Structure 1
Amino acid sequence: MSEEPVIQPPKQRFAPDPWCLRETAPDPATHFLHETLFALGNGYIGVRGTAEEGWSGPAGTSRDGTYLNGFYESEPIHYPETAYALAKTNQFMLNVPNAKGLAIWLDEERFDPLQGTLDAYERSLDLRRGVLERSLRWTSPSGKSIAVHSRRVVCFDNKHLLALEITVTPLNFSGTLRIVATLDGAVRNLEAGDDPRVGSAVSGASLELLSAEQEDGFSALVQRTRNSGFTLVSATLVDAPGTVRCSRAALRLEDACEVPAVQGQPVRATKYVSYHTSRDYPESELLPRSRALLDAARRDGFDALAARQADYLADFWRQADVEIDGDDLLQQGIRFNQYHLLQSAGRDGKTNISAKGVTGEGYEGHYFWDTEIYIFPFFLYNKPEIARALLEYRWAGLEAARRRARQMSHPKGALYPWRTIAGEECSAYFPAGTAQYHINADIAYSIRQYLDATGDDDWMRAHGAEIVMETARIWLGIGSIDRHGRFVINEVTGPDEYTALVNNNYYTNAMAQAHLEFAAALAARLATEFPADFSRIASAMALEAGEPEAWRSAAAKMHLPYDEALGIHEQDDSFLSKKRWDFDSTPAENYPLLLHYHPMVIYRHQVCKQADVVLALLLLSSRFGLDDKRRDFDYYEAVTTHDSSLSSCIFSIVAAEVGYADKAYDYFMETARMDLDDTHGNTCHGVHTAAMAGTWLGVAQGFGGMRTDGGTLRFAPTLPARWRGYRFRIHLRGCLLEVGVAAAGTRYRLVQGDALHFSHHGKAITLTAAQPEHMEAA
């Protein structure tokens, strides 16, 4: 394999509109993918982008789905050969009742864009307003023509609510028009095939019906999961002309309105939808809450909901917008990614961000380390209240992490799960799951970032310090002092999932060292500044007096593998002794390797799925010299396949830092339009949230040179040759800073706040309310 990054040619599908995604024809060849790209969500509800009338295309070209973040079913994991403390139960996000259905009948003909003649068509996702809109003209096989305009919104200001509006105008006839709104509970999850990234092992229906209600345009299904024991109420309220008639067939509820169709006169129907579960409210409140919410939504009307959606997004873009001057395709990709991140993030303290957001069933809706290392910084610096909510989720899982530590034979401490929804370990393949102990350090790292960026001592005292110290204990439980006096950590897996169960993975050891140092410093600070809180936490943990000093000692003695001859940090003790993968003889169709080779074949070779040592160079940037970074980058780039969507953004950032401008840009572009151009070929099963966040990291930390490790803010901006300029904003310590980079230099502007201190290429800068701007020439 060439040492140059393998970047697939872009498959441009959309005109480069910086604020909008437009589809100009429904196409079976792209429909499955576009269902993901045109999905709407609000961090709780996720609705794939299937049209209201459904899809009649060929089999395998659609996966309709509606998902609720954190609402899951559970089932036993069946191992042909089991072992002690293997994960026992899987949790998987459910495909819940489909409430989007709005079928249109012209006399006895049903509207179907794939039948008859489609005379005009456009579907658009407006990233500024958060509305999915469609306009078309269609002629039926018998010659009746109609214009259809639909709007859809999943409300950011109420996590339980979405709304759909459809307007039908007869163009060349008068007759009878019937609109049928459906609530379909006969849905199932996608079953996994040979690709372990797709679907779940469940078969059959996971929701059993308790009751159904229909009255005056209100329909509701009350269902319960068979194993996890949660109750779900899916409800709709139809606002349409004429009389709404109810009917039911098994798990499908219908509300139909029939009106005279007069040529040239539009008929409008609006459907309000809610989902409530017993994860949020007592079961007895679910139906009353559903009725009340839908009644209030109908009183407000669709236009009011859409206006509130636009207001919410205006505030979001004021804080988070990244502007690129000189590349409209890239601008579209960045804003699309940021919008989907906002749609994906749980913000109630009980939910997190799954690897595919709420757009598909890939990875079963599980939460990974993707949140802390890739996605968390985006929210921390753009919408800090969501960042705090994501940490609240980890706090809520601390007791489960303690239980998992005991299962793994640690008498004290907490071990967070590699993949989970409710807090229990769900990874059935421990070499690339439970063995990734670095999850503890990743969570501690995000807490440190949060404290540095916000100064939120209240949260630190109430929650953060206990998480950091409890998880730090695990390193002394898994590590030991070897005969050379080094603290070593054996039999773990680092970020690179093509190298499993090794001794002294560099990333793990380096992050563990930082974690132990942070835990000891927090303990000392609490004891000095907040003694009552320290006493309370120490009592809750049964913290022994000598533990913080033991953490310091282990950190000081941490073994960090380094090869003097090559001048590089070794990925682990054995990595450099392995035979290199034969890239030249591996056909392109055999990537990703995990789908074509047994894990043991991959493990015994020198080959990386993703950034490992290179990721440590970024996260712990101040601990490495520039020459070390360049040598490490050169070596590991040559053996990395980037089969993981988490890889290219990290390589881009480090390439920018070490002066490889072209490589930085190529890797960045692979990240920025990964889903829009479907470069990994699996976006149909859901977006890649970590890569989406990696796009923002690529601008701020890559080209902007932003670093915050060590508690200080610094920038080292560069301008890609293909851009005229770029601009982004960050929240820090109650301030909002705008960074603008152009050929003339870099302009820093304090948008809000009293004062902010940082450095530009090593030069100290202070912005104040009195002097809010500073210009550094190129």
Structure 2
Amino acid sequence: MNQDYIVPAPWAIIEEGFEKDRVKSSESLFSIGNGAMGQRANFEEEYSGKTFQGSYIGGVYYPDKTRVGWWKNGYPEYFAKVLNAPSWIGIKVKVDGESLDLNTAKSVSNFRRELNMKEGWLGRSFEAELQNGVKLKVQSKRFLSLEHDEIGAINYEVTPLNKDVSISYEPYLDSGITNEDTNWDDKFWNTLSVEEDGNKAYITAHTMKTFFYVCTAMANTFTVDGKEISLTLSTNKSDTYIGHVFETDIREGETFAIQKYAGYITSFNHDQNELKQAAQKVLDTALDAGFDKLLSKQKEDWAEIWSMADIVIDGDVRAQQGIRFNIFHLNQTYLGKDSRLNIGPKGFTGEKYGGSTYWDTEAYCLHFYMATKNQDVARSLLTYRYNHLPKAIENAGKLGFKDGAALYPMVTMNGEECHNEWEITFEEIHRNGAMIFAIRDYVKYTGDYSYIPEKGLEVMIGVARFWKQRATWSAQKENYVILGVTGPNEYENNVNNNFYTNYLAKWCLEYAVEHCKNVAQEFGSDYKRIVGQTELKEEELKAWAEVAEKMYLPYSEEKGVYLQQDGFLDKELVTVADLSKSERPINQKWSWDRILRSPYIKQADTLQAFYVFEEDFSEEQLKKHFDFYEPFTVHESSLSPCVHAIQAAKLGQMDQAYAFYLRTSRLDLDDYNKEVHEGLHITSMAGTWMSVVEGFGGMRIKDNTLSFDPKMPDAWDGFSFKLNYRDQILKVAVGKNKTVFTLNEGEDLDLLIHGKEVTVKAGSSVEV
């Protein structure tokens, strides 16, 4: 049974009624962020019940020492932790001396929480009766500014309902925080100073080992029934805490509000010796603007994002809510402003998975940012990996690879591998190929070939060298084989000749040879520079071509399909349909030994190859492989349903495509995998966008031309989306009987619609 307490609404995530057992889940779902920082939706007031406190800063991490039963050569020395940063949202509230705490209140009624995705704010309201008999109405609203991304703002209001009371607010900063997922209970933060200056307070701390310096700062203002008042403060202070206490008498029915402005100033962006001065300026900016003006600008900034990124679905509010929830969180996580940052699997919503970057960025997220932002943002994502090439070569060296071979990490913060499960670190090497097909996808979509001679070719060379050395000549098969790997299906470890990995290696080698020759011919000076830097030799290209040509691809003549790996048909091929629901999810119900021996597939694996290299296979081949592998797929990875949705739509299996779409778009809202309390699945949210645009919209690039093959689920009345294609803004509106293409910006654009050429004139529409 999936959770179903989120109220369906097109532009908001809404929770009605207070249930203690779903507090952690809601803290994830209602998280907010602005690309530079983010936080789980923890209550501002104190809460003594079960909660997962989390506030995070982009790029700030701690290298927690690897915890393993035994050490293996090549293991990374640390597992990067996304750090729970000093807390600034807290406001202790006391009414006639008693703390407001929803866990201990006599009663809580009319509880409502709303994440307004259209305008970018989190709101909450409720009524409570405290143990002392006082009845209150509480309303709060908070957001993290997109314009001033070092600051957040909170407006918190208390109205006594049954008597005159004394109310005290204690807004505070606290650097005495810990991570939920620490390996060794290490202290992550060293607090340097706790200071105040009038109504402002500051805590300066640095991370242990990595020495990121952070100044957490706050300032507060107050109103009664909307009119600003001045209050004197007293201070509670310790080595890691500062709270400013403000108290006043409030009559029954009056509303006493605090406006708290706070945030992070970091050495990521400022001189570490001038953080307090920078924080003062940020607070002054917020105070000068005030809450309402900052919120008004927030609404404008989100309106601009939505004008390009929105997908409208008519006639299906759950589907509409799902896609907007995904698009909203993607934009909260990464806006493309800083090429040092990337898209973490949990974003700013939790700590699981450690590092900020997986292969998810290249395989899933690039398409979304390329089409809804611009080519510069997409180029930044590629440049992030180019900048990490020396570390990728270093990572490969630790595993015994030589001569400039590069192995990109599975999990990273700074280019170093920091994932410490052997079956992932050593064996899930397919991630290396994602770096290359991301370059291909960028060039195909943007038409910007210049990236390859400038940066991309060096990455291709490093990756090709890795595949050449990782392949083994099999005298028995008279082909090159790749042994001891884990494919995208992590429910098979240490297998030989995973089809996706072998095909990807073959393709990477061929692609590197092709573009070495092309750059040598068309960009001679760049090629000379690259050869000088990489010490590339002509015979290497011949060796790469030979390995590619003789790469072994496991195939079953009997089944007429490529095999996921050599031993797949040795398994007892019982489909998921014949697996009891009480056994699901198998990753929580079965031993790992049992999973590894089963035929069950965590996510698209062989079918991942049919997605990434779609042009290499016929539709008939896709159908045969889809019909063979999908019945064994348990979809226990967040990255699985989107690929299957796209392929089912291509095959015209629309009921399946729609079911997969709902699963990917509402994965967290409905908590399919029973783990939303740990945080959201941010990177797979880009797959939801792909499900609509590439699945139902049928968007592809064919022969350097934008192509569409639109199809619509029966549950929908219509859907529309926009694309920024080579600086031309195209709107696609799919209806029951027609599709309308409107070119909002740019010059005349040639399209392929169901395989036929159509030209859309600038500023006009074409109806098909």
Q: TM-score, normalization: structure 2? A: 0.94
> What is the match of residue 620 of structure 1?
613
1:712–1:201 Cα change, 3 Å = farther
> What is the match of residue 741 of structure 1?
734
> What is the match of residue 152 of structure 2?
162
Q: Secondary structure at the match of 1:676?
A: coil
In 1, distance between residues paired with 2:629 and 2:598?
Answer: 13
1:593 lines up with 2:565 in the alignment = no
Write out aligned runs for 1:668-707 (5 A). 668-707=661-700
1:522 to 502, 511, 515: 515
In 2, distance between residues paired with 1:690 and 1:213?
Answer: 39
Code of the aligned partner of 1:46:
G
In 2, distance between residues paired with 1:129 and 1:45?
Answer: 18
Shift of 1:392: 2.7
1:565 lines up with 2:558 in the alignment = yes
> What is the match of residue 415 of structure 2?
423
In 1, distance between residues paired with 2:651 and 2:534?
Answer: 43
> What is the match of residue 201 of structure 1?
183
> What is the match of residue 126 of structure 1?
116
Q: Deviations along 1:54-74, whole A, 9 cap, x unmatched?
A: 3233xxx31111112321111
Tell me, yes or no, if the aligned pair for 2:322 and 2:662 is still in contact at 8 Å: no
> What is the match of residue 224 of structure 1?
206
> What is the match of residue 463 of structure 1?
455
Q: Deviations along 1:193-221, whole A, 9 cap, x unmatched?
A: xxxxxx34232432122221122122222
In 2, distance between residues paired with 1:679 and 1:604?
Answer: 24
1:446–1:54 Cα change, 3 Å = farther
2:195 to 201, 204, 213: 213
Tell me, yes or no, if the aligned pair for 2:728 and 2:747 is still in contact at 8 Å: yes
In 2, distance between residues paired with 1:731 and 1:202?
Answer: 47
Code of the aligned partner of 2:47:
W
> What is the match of residue 392 of structure 2?
401
1:29 to 10, 21, 27: 21
Q: Give aligned pairs, total.
A: 756
1:392 lines up with 2:383 in the alignment = yes
Q: Deviations along 1:408-432, whole A, 9 cap, x unmatched?
A: 2221221101112222111211213
Shift of 1:739: 1.3
> What is the match of residue 443 of structure 1?
435
> What is the match of residue 193 of structure 1?
none
The CA RMSD measured in Å over matched residues stands at 2.2
Code of the aligned partner of 2:267:
S
> What is the match of residue 335 of structure 1?
324
> What is the match of residue 273 of structure 2?
284
Tell me, yes or no, if the aligned pair for 1:674 and 1:691 is still in contact at 8 Å: no
Q: Secondary structure at the match of 2:636?
A: coil
Code of the aligned partner of 2:683:
A
2:243 to 254, 259, 275: 254
In 1, distance between residues paired with 2:183 and 2:274?
Answer: 32
1:157–1:398 Cα change, 3 Å = farther
Tell me, yes or no, if the aligned pair for 1:349 and 1:396 is still in contact at 8 Å: no
In 2, distance between residues paired with 1:157 and 1:388?
Answer: 22
Q: Deviations along 1:560-582, whole A, 9 cap, x unmatched?
A: 32222211111122222333368
Q: Deviations along 1:16-69, whole A, 9 cap, x unmatched?
A: 210011222221021110000111011231211111103233xxx311111123
In 1, distance between residues paired with 2:753 and 2:598?
Answer: 42
> What is the match of residue 654 of structure 2?
661
Q: Secondary structure at the match of 1:86?
A: coil
1:119–1:640 Cα change, 3 Å = closer
Q: Secondary structure at the match of 1:363?
A: coil
> What is the match of residue 7 of structure 2?
15
Q: Secondary structure at the match of 2:538?
A: coil
Question: More deviation in 603-612 or 399-408?
Answer: 603-612
Tell me, yes or no, if the aligned pair for 2:170 and 2:246 is still in contact at 8 Å: yes
Shift of 1:481: 4.3
> What is the match of residue 80 of structure 1?
69
> What is the match of residue 225 of structure 2?
none
2:406 to 396, 414, 417: 414
Shift of 1:480: 4.1
Shift of 1:488: 3.0
1:148 lines up with 2:132 in the alignment = no
In 2, distance between residues paired with 1:200 and 1:687?
Answer: 19
2:497 to 493, 496, 504: 504
Shift of 1:363: 1.5
Question: More deviation in 262-271 or 738-747?
Answer: 262-271
In 1, distance between residues paired with 2:657 and 2:98?
Answer: 55
> What is the match of residue 227 of structure 2?
none
Tell me, yes or no, if the aligned pair for 1:346 and 1:390 is still in contact at 8 Å: no
> What is the match of residue 647 of structure 1?
640
Q: Secondary structure at the match of 1:440?
A: helix
1:592–1:420 Cα change, 3 Å = farther
> What is the match of residue 40 of structure 1?
32
> What is the match of residue 513 of structure 1?
506
Question: More deviation in 668-677 or 215-224?
Answer: 215-224
Tell me, yes or no, if the aligned pair for 2:67 and 2:183 is still in contact at 8 Å: no
Q: Secondary structure at the match of 1:362?
A: coil
In 2, distance between residues paired with 1:81 and 1:170?
Answer: 59
> What is the match of residue 236 of structure 1?
218
Tell me, yes or no, if the aligned pair for 2:343 and 2:683 is still in contact at 8 Å: no
Q: Deviations along 1:604-645, whole A, 9 cap, x unmatched?
A: 343311110111111111111111111101111122222212
1:768–1:545 Cα change, 3 Å = farther
1:660–1:292 Cα change, 3 Å = same
In 2, distance between residues paired with 1:485 and 1:756?
Answer: 49
In 2, distance between residues paired with 1:585 and 1:250?
Answer: 59
1:298 to 282, 287, 294: 287
Tell me, yes or no, if the aligned pair for 1:217 and 1:245 is still in contact at 8 Å: no
Tell me, yes or no, if the aligned pair for 1:418 and 1:434 is still in contact at 8 Å: no
Shift of 1:680: 0.9
In 1, distance between residues paired with 2:588 and 2:615?
Answer: 37
1:267 to 214, 238, 256: 256
In 1, distance between residues paired with 2:546 and 2:703?
Answer: 20
Write out aligned runs for 1:53-64 (5 A). 53-57=45-49, 61-64=50-53
Q: Deviations along 1:716-770, whole A, 9 cap, x unmatched?
A: 1111111111111112111121111111121111121113233111112222316
> What is the match of residue 531 of structure 2?
538
Q: Deviations along 1:342-390, whole A, 9 cap, x unmatched?
A: 1122631112111111101122244211221122211111123433332
In 2, distance between residues paired with 1:149 and 1:159?
Answer: 24
1:462–1:301 Cα change, 3 Å = farther
In 1, distance between residues paired with 2:566 and 2:494?
Answer: 11
Shift of 1:252: 2.0
Structure 2: runs of 5+ lacking an equivalent: 223-229
Question: More deviation in 546-555 or 337-346?
Answer: 546-555
Shift of 1:511: 2.0
Write out aligned runs for 1:161-180 (5 A). 161-180=151-170
Tell me, yes or no, if the aligned pair for 2:585 and 2:673 is still in contact at 8 Å: no
1:757–1:222 Cα change, 3 Å = same
In 2, distance between residues paired with 1:701 and 1:270?
Answer: 44
State the percentage of identical aligned residues.
33
1:588–1:366 Cα change, 3 Å = farther
In 2, distance between residues paired with 1:600 and 1:62?
Answer: 33
Code of the aligned partner of 1:607:
Y
> What is the match of residue 726 of structure 1?
719
In 2, distance between residues paired with 1:24 and 1:681?
Answer: 21
> What is the match of residue 761 of structure 1?
754
